[in-house]
A and B are shown apart, each in its own frame.
Chain A
Amino acid sequence: MKSMLRTARTIASKDLRIELRSRVVTNQVIPFAALVMILFAFALDSDAVLERVAPGLVWLATIFSVLFIVARSFALETADGALEALRAAGVDPMGIFLGKTLALATQLIALEAVLVGASVVLYRADVSASGGVLLVTTSVLATVGLASVGTLYGGLAAGAKGRETLLPLLLLPVVAPVLIGATRATESAFGTNGIDVSEGWPWLGLLAVFAVLFSVVGTVAFGPLVDD
């Protein structure tokens, strides 16, 4: 258990250090997500509509970006056969899963902060203090879920031919509950359509179930999936 957590910490810090030095997420994925937010505005073309759908757009942009971050996360592992080397060296797959999930989650939180900021600026979203608490909790729970599922399916698709197109096909149906739950909770946090903040909290139940379920299942199933 202790060694598993130590592995997780090592893997996570390795991934984050690579990100700090290469800045792929900060310089490419986050600008991409911001661009998506702007393109939504072109497509929907009305302030009133944008204001109403802003919460959904934030999470849609997040989920699209997850695809890229996951692909990036596993490109690092497959480029030089790093994942196989880790497995051959007897590194605990549970530790690898937790470490990669942690690194992914950290990057996602940064991304979500930018996107919420963008929706305040671009879509006139309005966050009160109590809404802010709800929003932060929503982001944390949704992120744990997205990062676990992303790591699990990313590991499955890693190294396969055509993984760029396979990953969205596998991942997008699975994350539908997160999109639903996080969007509704964010609607209350933004006060969209006059929805009260308190109405958002029940949706966190769904996000919590998803996060717990997939982080546990991911920890167990990741080993057999990458153990080739």
Chain B
Amino acid sequence: MTTRVARDRVTGTPFTRGLGIVTIAGIVWLVIFGLFVTPADVNQGETVRIMYAHVPGAWLAYLAFIVTALSSAMYLWRRTRSLTWDRIAGASAEIGVLFMGISLVTGSLWGRLTWGTFWTWDARLTTTAFLFVTYIGYLAVRNLGGTHHQRARRSAVLALLAVLEIPLVHFSVEIWNSLHQEASVAGNTDVTMDGLMLFTLFLGVIVFTLMYVWMLLHRQRALTLEDMLDDTGLDRALAARRAEAGVS
């Protein structure tokens, strides 16, 4: 009986399966366009191809963190209080951290090739690094334990604090930076883009967003199952042991 229940509780639905197929097809399309069809850049050469993963990755991370903040607010607001919002917030933050990591790695690789340095203390870069660490902390707080509602309230407050903190960090890094840095290398990107390249970038954003929705749905459902396991797992284990004892 338990095995049947386990088989029933999958995180996929016809919708997510369809979405998954579309996403994978989109990724294939993006890889073909990004690596083969688009031309190399006049200035940056082949390294420009990193952009097709880097820019959508960064976009996705920001989107994910905005979703985390919004669903945290939905949780804290009494009329919409539901653990579903909390799980969406958590799932979204996990995906956000992942893609922010990807975006930081691809960005610094691109920077090494193009600017000759992995890192500059540009406000945008520094804020991004801070965001990354802040949400790693957020995920750590989610794992602190306690009841589901304790976890939800604690992390929701923290997610809203992050919304407050990030602009302040950005602003202070910006004024700190204005004293220190000569000319920001990141400012020299006002080149006109080739239409095909722009399209590929746009495609990347769309494909990554689909991927985000796909991952978010699955992850949110997986978290729901984890919570259910927390709620009923012990009772079930007890019942099973009792049954064992009764049989023998």
Contact = CB atoms under 8 A, between A and B. Distances in A.
Interface of A: 152, 156, 160-161, 166, 169-170, 172-174, 176-177, 180-181, 184, 206, 209-210, 213, 217, 221, 224-225, 227-228
B169 A228 contact: no
Given A166-B137, A166-B141, A217-B161, A225 B172 contact: no
Contacts of B158: 156, 170
B175 interface: yes
Interface of B: 76, 130, 133-134, 136-137, 140-141, 144-146, 150, 153-154, 157-158, 160-161, 164-165, 168-169, 171-173, 175-176, 179
A161 B172 contact: no
A206 B175 contact: yes
B130 A170 contact: no
A156 B142 CA distance: 11
A177 B141 contact: no
Nearest to A172: B133
Contacts of A210: 168
A148 B90 CA distance: 26
Contacts of B137: 166, 169-170, 173
Contacts of B164: 213, 217
Contact of A224 (B140, B146, B153): B153
18 contacts: A156-B141, A173-B130, A173-B137, A173-B165, A173-B169, A174-B161, A176-B169, A177-B172, A180-B172, A180-B173, A206-B171, A209-B168, A213-B168, A217-B164, A221-B157, A221-B161, A224-B157, A228-B146
B136 A169 contact: yes
B157 A176 contact: no
Contacts of B160: 221
A174 B158 CA distance: 11
Contact of A173 (B133, B141, B150, B171): B133
Contacts of A206: 171-172, 175
Contact of A228 (B140, B150, B172, B175): B150
Contacts of B134: 173-174
B126 to A, nearest CB: 9
A206 B175 CA distance: 10
A172 B133 CA distance: 10
A138 B64 CA distance: 37
Given A156-B141, A169-B137, A174-B165, A184 B154 contact: no
Nearest to B160: A221
Contacts of B161: 152, 174, 217, 221
Nearest to A174: B165
Contacts of A160: 144-145
Contacts of B146: 228
Contacts of A156: 141, 154, 157-158
B181 to A, nearest CB: 14
Nearest to B158: A156
A206 to B, nearest CB: 6
Contact of B154 (A169, A176, A180, A225): A225
Given A184-B176, A228-B146, 14 more contacts: A160-B145, A161-B144, A166-B144, A169-B137, A173-B137, A177-B171, A181-B172, A184-B179, A206-B171, A213-B164, A224-B76, A224-B153, A224-B157, A225-B153
A228 B145 CA distance: 12
A67 to B, nearest CB: 14
Contacts of B154: 156, 225
Contact of A225 (B130, B157, B173): B157
A228 B158 CA distance: 15
